[in-house]
Chain A
Amino acid sequence: MNVENLIKMANDIGTFFEAMPNREQATRDVATHIRKFWEPRMQKSLIAYLGTHGDETLKPIVRDALREIHPA
């Protein structure tokens, strides 16, 4: 999967939820959203990217959510 697109999509999800007042809940909501709507190969591609390329291009809330989905 084109990881650049996945990063953009994930960051857009993060942008929506990071406006929420409760950061912990918002992080869980990002994780839940990705779990509920992203096909496994999309999830795996982004998590693999996070593992190999670091995480500068991902919003912090997305990074945290991905780690919740797939603890290192």
Chain B
Amino acid sequence: MDTTHHPHDVDYGTPASVSEKLVTLEIDGFEVTVPEGTSLMRAAVEAGTQIPKLCATDSLEPFGSCRLCLVEIEGRRGFPASCTTPAEAGMKVRTQSPKLADLRRGVMELYISDHPLDCLTCSANGDCELQDMAGTVGLRDVRYGYEGLNHLKDQADTSNPYFTYDPSKCIVCNRCVRACEETQGTFALTISGRGFESRVSAGESQAFMDSECVSCGACVDACPTATLMEKTVIEAGQPDHSVLTTCAYCGVGCGFKADMKGSEVVRMTPWKDGKANEGHACIKGRFAWGYTTHKDRILKPMIRSKITDPWQEVSWETAIGHAASEFRRIQNKFGVDSIGGITSSRCTNEETYLVQKLVRASFGNNNVDTCARVCHSPTGYGLGQTYGTSAGTQTFKSIEKADVILVIGANPTDAHPVFGSRMKKRLREGARLIIVDPRKIELVSAPHIKADYHLQLRPGTNVAIVNALAHVIVTEGLLDQQFIDERCDKEAFNYWRDFVASDNNSPEALESMTGVPAHLVREAARLYATAGNGAIYYGLGVTEHSQGSTAVIGIANLAMATGNIGREGVGVNPLRGQNNVQGSCDMGSFPHEYPGYRHVSDDATRTLFEKDWGVSLRKEPGLRIPNMFEAAMDGTFKGLYCQGEDIVQSDPNTQHVIAAMEAMECIVVQDLFLNETAKYAHVFLPGSSFLEKDGTFTNAERRISRVRKVMAPKAGLADWEATVALSNALGYPMHYKDPSEIMAEIARLTPTFSGVTYEKLDQLGSVQWPCNDAMPEGTPLMHIDHFVRGKGRFLITQYVPTHEKVTPKFPLLLTTGRILSQYNVGAQTRRTENVQFHEEDRLDIHPQDAAERGIQEDDWVGITSRAGETVLRARVTERMQPGVVYTTFHFPESGANVITTDNSDWATNCPEYKVTAVQVVKVKHTSEWQENFHEFNETQLRLLKEKVVTTEAAGTR
């Protein structure tokens, strides 16, 4: 595969047919064999011929409106449209004839008579299908003139920050409208008016920004002219080359073409052949990459003795030397276990691998953890215990075969938007839908989608609901006994069956706790168990609880009990939050296990790594992130290397985290920006964006995809190079010249990665692990014939109410989450135009709770929990249920995590972000914490501004 592309890909005109039956026909005298159902247009491309077209593109179903793609078929009258005519065996098709040429010229003549002739100065010049078709059909004259009624003076809509809509250039091909419907599933666009008046319209003739448009850009991609055009292309011109890479936002891991002009990105175009996204994208991946060149980026290393000192810009050598010296000083004084590291799910596999290696081999302990601790660590534990490995079981494509979809604690249309669109497409095709969520998320009711059941449970009762669903399946005879007998541990199943069958687990018994009417639970359970292929998708609404691991186990039980494992259309699918959550876990970022989920106490594995790394390794688990904070408060943990994470903003109980930060003597932060954690740091190492380095990300499907460098690291070193330098300075030499050498080491030491090479990724585009001798091209579906652990293991999942209880003082439950346009702590998306879509975190509250407190829309409200207090503006919405409030955590000044507590999952210490008892009252001032935050923030920004530039730093890049 050529990984450096010309910006224009082949457009086959219509989607590929999936039929296994082949038909052979003749096109322009050449024989071609295609799957039955293939359009003549696509068959012609297969035969090497491009039939002229305008309204057709291969990401959309054929529409047959432009009348350019007409062909002649021997033995048939007329001129059928090739996009809507399926190929048949024995057909003889002509794509060119004098009559066809005449017809096509006539069509083009009409189009061009109402189109500006500003091709030389048009932003689509060089990438305009209308221009191409005018050339293709040989249009030489427009007999109608240009003085008649036309749209040439229609005004452009520039309201969207990322693209313009210029109706004067619209040919009403409908591609944008169909892309919004078919690809994105938002239905925000329509054609308003009739005949000559027909124009594309966002919403009800609204500006794009005022409409329901979610700025996914599918319409821009589909537009054949300059009607819908990226503003970056309007400003910079057409790209000269493209490089295939992988999105650095959510766990969908979309493949992209970085369309480049030299070393500058002009636009990001979703890769048609990317298996995670199949040519689709969202507002973040497609448009929100401006942070990579934002003025806030820090491009030189800095050090300081105390966090009250101004920063001092230094050379890489000095910064790395200082960090290494401080880490060794601390270890000499406080012991070898007094320092640790945190890897990031925003960094590549190679980078996270190196950080955990540095901690284990160079720091000499196992104090390494990753941000998956605070999101999907319960997935690792739960799926590991039941199935034998920590990973989703399916491909994203598998959803096309699902008959009933059970979404638990996930909001894919906001947090995993491209997969959300794939899910919506399947739902529009008729798959049934069960939502288990405290909030009315978009999927509950969206255009052409309505959930069959919305089990609107109280936060913290997932396990009760899962048990109740299981109870119905067991007691109503809905088990897949054959699957259980063949594939699962019999004794464990019997224990579990007896447990869930008890009356305590009936929907009726649990109704008072969950708040969900028992009959709905019963009906939903019957639907999941009997509607055919049942696929479960879950997110942080499952894991971020005190019983997060128990809930994951319960979900795994449900799938085994109904035989919904081991084939397409079924499975258990954790929707990972960040781009490389799966990868950072795979790479041994957890303190108790090496790459490939092998425990540090396993002698054989440890010996393998000891031999390869040439050091003696510890067999006891290290500290997890919350434990690091506890140890810091205890005075036994004094130094931290934090790569690409912002624990001060993202981890719960902010004041506790800050106290831990202040108790440490050397915090080294490696990041693009002076994030909240960096404000407590003593060494700042400038990070490199995903555009500036080579490596791989692994998405929620276990899909390993290449990240490719399209520009030099702006600070001089890619992140992996900085880690290598730190290790070398610490006296443990690392000699990698290229990330491919790191992947070679990973493959050498990790059985599930043994077949992974950069060459293979270049050749195949991506692979899903396990990728080894048995599965050299990867493993799309897990557990087909047997579970990774052998027999599937049912486990009892007793529901235990959280310690976090509502009281008269804290009568509401707060749950937190994400929104489409912002990403995690917002460090990236807040530095893009996405702030126009979400400029502050709000508190969502039900009208009833608001009325009881005299709260109205936009009022400032104080939210107080046992951990702290913050103030946000209210949004009164019926998406909430009474008694439950919600906010996002994308802005540091919001202090969402000032309120969340350090209550955590029993097995993994994953914080219980989703359940915090709070009171909400109307207020007039920001909270004391926010006042302190603003003061501290101002001080830190001043200390950055007043940084001392040393001579040696001035002389370096």
Query: A5, A12, A21: which contacts B906 (Cβ < 8 A)?
Result: A12
Contact B631 A1 (CB under 8 A): yes
**B401 proximal to A (CB < 8 A):** no
- Chain A, residues 1-29, CB within 8 Å of chain B (1/0): the string is 11001001100110110011100000000
Segment from B350-358, B422-430, B471-479, B796-804 that makes contact with A: B796-804
**A58 proximal to B (CB < 8 A):** no
Q: How near does chain A come to B622, taking the closest CB pair, in angstroms? A: 6
- 27 residue pairs from A and B, CB less than 8 Å apart: A1-B631, A1-B634, A1-B636, A2-B633, A2-B634, A5-B630, A5-B902, A9-B904, A12-B546, A12-B800, A15-B798, A16-B550, A16-B907, A19-B499, A19-B796, A20-B495, A35-B601, A36-B592, A36-B621, A37-B621, A37-B624, A37-B907, A38-B621, A39-B337, A39-B624, A39-B627, A42-B623
**B909 proximal to A (CB < 8 A):** yes
Most chain A C-beta atoms within 10 Å of own C-beta, residue among B630, B800, B904? B630
A15 vs B798: C-alpha distance when bound (angstroms): 9
Chain A residues with CB under 8 Å of B591's CB are 39
**B620 proximal to A (CB < 8 A):** yes
**B727 proximal to A (CB < 8 A):** no
Query: B627, B633, B796, B907: which contacts A42 (Cβ < 8 A)?
Result: B627
A20 vs B621: C-alpha distance when bound (angstroms): 25
Contact A13 B907 (CB under 8 A): yes
Query: Beyond A2-B630, A19-B796, A36-B592, is A9–B620 a contact (Cβ under 8 Å)?
Result: no
Closest 10 CB pairs of A and B: A12-B906, A19-B798, A39-B623, A40-B620, A19-B796, A21-B495, A1-B634, A1-B630, A15-B800, A13-B906
A42 vs B621: C-alpha distance when bound (angstroms): 10
A21 vs B796: C-alpha distance when bound (angstroms): 9
Interface of B toward A, CB cutoff 8 Å: 337, 366-367, 495, 499, 546, 549-550, 591-592, 599, 601, 620-624, 627, 630-631, 633-634, 636, 796-798, 800, 803, 902, 904, 906-909
Interface of A toward B, CB cutoff 8 Å: 1-2, 5, 8-9, 12-13, 15-16, 19-21, 33, 35-42
A2 vs B622: C-alpha distance when bound (angstroms): 17
Contact B909 A9 (CB under 8 A): yes
Q: How near does chain A come to B588, taking the closest CB pair, in angstroms? A: 15
Contact B906 A20 (CB under 8 A): no
Contact A37 B796 (CB under 8 A): no
Contact B906 A39 (CB under 8 A): no
A21 vs B621: C-alpha distance when bound (angstroms): 28
Query: Beyond A1-B631, A19-B798, A41-B337, is A9–B623 a contact (Cβ under 8 Å)?
Result: no
Chain B residues with CB under 8 Å of A13's CB are 906-907
A20 vs B623: C-alpha distance when bound (angstroms): 28
Q: How near does chain A come to B903, taking the closest CB pair, in angstroms? A: 9
- Across the two chains, which residue of chain A brings its CB closest to B902? A5
Most chain B C-beta atoms within 10 Å of own C-beta, residue among A2, A38, A39, A41? A39
- Across the two chains, which residue of chain B brings its CB closest to A35? B601
Contact B798 A36 (CB under 8 A): no
A39 vs B366: C-alpha distance when bound (angstroms): 9
Q: How near does chain B come to A71, taking the closest CB pair, in angstroms? A: 18
A21 vs B495: C-alpha distance when bound (angstroms): 7
Q: How near does chain A come to B548, taking the closest CB pair, in angstroms? A: 11
Query: Beyond A9-B909, A19-B798, A21-B495, is A41–B621 a contact (Cβ under 8 Å)?
Result: no
Chain A residues with CB under 8 Å of B624's CB are 37, 39
Chain A residues with CB under 8 Å of B366's CB are 39
Contact B633 A20 (CB under 8 A): no
Q: How near does chain B come to A6, taking the closest CB pair, in angstroms? A: 8
Chain B residues with CB under 8 Å of A41's CB are 337, 631, 636
Contact B592 A20 (CB under 8 A): no
A16 vs B622: C-alpha distance when bound (angstroms): 23
Query: Beyond A8-B803, A36-B592, A39-B591, is A15–B906 a contact (Cβ under 8 Å)?
Result: yes
Contact B634 A36 (CB under 8 A): no
Most chain B C-beta atoms within 10 Å of own C-beta, residue among A5, A16, A33? A16
Q: How near does chain B come to A28, taking the closest CB pair, in angstroms? A: 15
Chain A residues with CB under 8 Å of B630's CB are 1-2, 5
Query: A5, A8, A35, A39: which contacts B622 (Cβ < 8 A)?
Result: A39
Supply 10 further A-B pairs (C-beta < 8 A) apart from A15-B800, A41-B337, A41-B636: A1-B631, A5-B630, A9-B906, A16-B800, A16-B907, A20-B495, A37-B592, A39-B591, A39-B620, A39-B627
Contact B803 A36 (CB under 8 A): no
A1 vs B636: C-alpha distance when bound (angstroms): 9
Chain A residues with CB under 8 Å of B906's CB are 9, 12-13, 15-16
- Across the two chains, which residue of chain B brings its CB closest to A11? B906
A29 vs B194: C-alpha distance when bound (angstroms): 71
Chain B residues with CB under 8 Å of A9's CB are 904, 906, 909
Most chain A C-beta atoms within 10 Å of own C-beta, residue among B499, B627, B800? B627
- Across the two chains, which residue of chain A brings its CB closest to B796? A19
Chain B residues with CB under 8 Å of A12's CB are 546, 800, 906
Chain B residues with CB under 8 Å of A35's CB are 601
Query: B367, B601, B623, B797: which contacts A36 (Cβ < 8 A)?
Result: B601
Chain A residues with CB under 8 Å of B599's CB are 36
- Across the two chains, which residue of chain B brings its CB closest to A19? B798
A34 vs B130: C-alpha distance when bound (angstroms): 67
Chain A residues with CB under 8 Å of B636's CB are 1, 41
Q: How near does chain B come to A47, taking the closest CB pair, in angstroms? A: 14
A16 vs B906: C-alpha distance when bound (angstroms): 8
Chain B residues with CB under 8 Å of A33's CB are 907
A72 vs B623: C-alpha distance when bound (angstroms): 25
Query: A1, A2, A5, A39: which contacts B621 (Cβ < 8 A)?
Result: A39
Q: How near does chain A come to B330, taking the closest CB pair, in angstroms? A: 16
Chain A residues with CB under 8 Å of B902's CB are 5
Contact A20 B796 (CB under 8 A): yes
A15 vs B546: C-alpha distance when bound (angstroms): 12
- Across the two chains, which residue of chain B brings its CB closest to A18? B798
Q: How near does chain A come to B861, taking the closest CB pair, in angstroms? A: 30
A9 vs B620: C-alpha distance when bound (angstroms): 19
Q: How near does chain B come to A13, taking the closest CB pair, in angstroms? A: 5
- Across the two chains, which residue of chain B brings its CB closest to A8? B803
Chain B residues with CB under 8 Å of A42's CB are 623, 627
Chain A residues with CB under 8 Å of B623's CB are 39, 42
A36 vs B495: C-alpha distance when bound (angstroms): 25
Contact B592 A16 (CB under 8 A): no
Q: How near does chain A come to B957, taking the closest CB pair, in angstroms? A: 39
Q: How near does chain B come to A29, taking the closest CB pair, in angstroms? A: 10
Q: How near does chain A come to B882, taking the closest CB pair, in angstroms? A: 29
Chain B residues with CB under 8 Å of A40's CB are 620
Q: How near does chain B come to A10, taking the closest CB pair, in angstroms? A: 9
A36 vs B366: C-alpha distance when bound (angstroms): 12
Q: How near does chain B come to A31, taking the closest CB pair, in angstroms? A: 13
- Across the two chains, which residue of chain A brings its CB closest to B803? A8
A43 vs B862: C-alpha distance when bound (angstroms): 39
A20 vs B631: C-alpha distance when bound (angstroms): 32
A16 vs B549: C-alpha distance when bound (angstroms): 10
Chain B residues with CB under 8 Å of A16's CB are 549-550, 798, 800, 906-907
Chain B residues with CB under 8 Å of A19's CB are 499, 796-798
Q: How near does chain A come to B827, taking the closest CB pair, in angstroms? A: 29
- Across the two chains, which residue of chain A brings its CB closest to B549? A16
Chain A residues with CB under 8 Å of B367's CB are 39
A42 vs B798: C-alpha distance when bound (angstroms): 26
Q: How near does chain A come to B384, taking the closest CB pair, in angstroms? A: 11
Chain B residues with CB under 8 Å of A15's CB are 798, 800, 906
Q: How near does chain A come to B863, taking the closest CB pair, in angstroms? A: 24
Chain A residues with CB under 8 Å of B622's CB are 39
A5 vs B653: C-alpha distance when bound (angstroms): 14
- Across the two chains, which residue of chain B brings its CB closest to A20? B796
Q: How near does chain B come to A37, taking the closest CB pair, in angstroms? A: 6
Chain A residues with CB under 8 Å of B803's CB are 8
Chain A residues with CB under 8 Å of B337's CB are 39, 41
A21 vs B550: C-alpha distance when bound (angstroms): 16
Q: How near does chain A come to B710, taking the closest CB pair, in angstroms? A: 40
Chain A residues with CB under 8 Å of B908's CB are 37
Chain B residues with CB under 8 Å of A36's CB are 592, 599, 601, 621
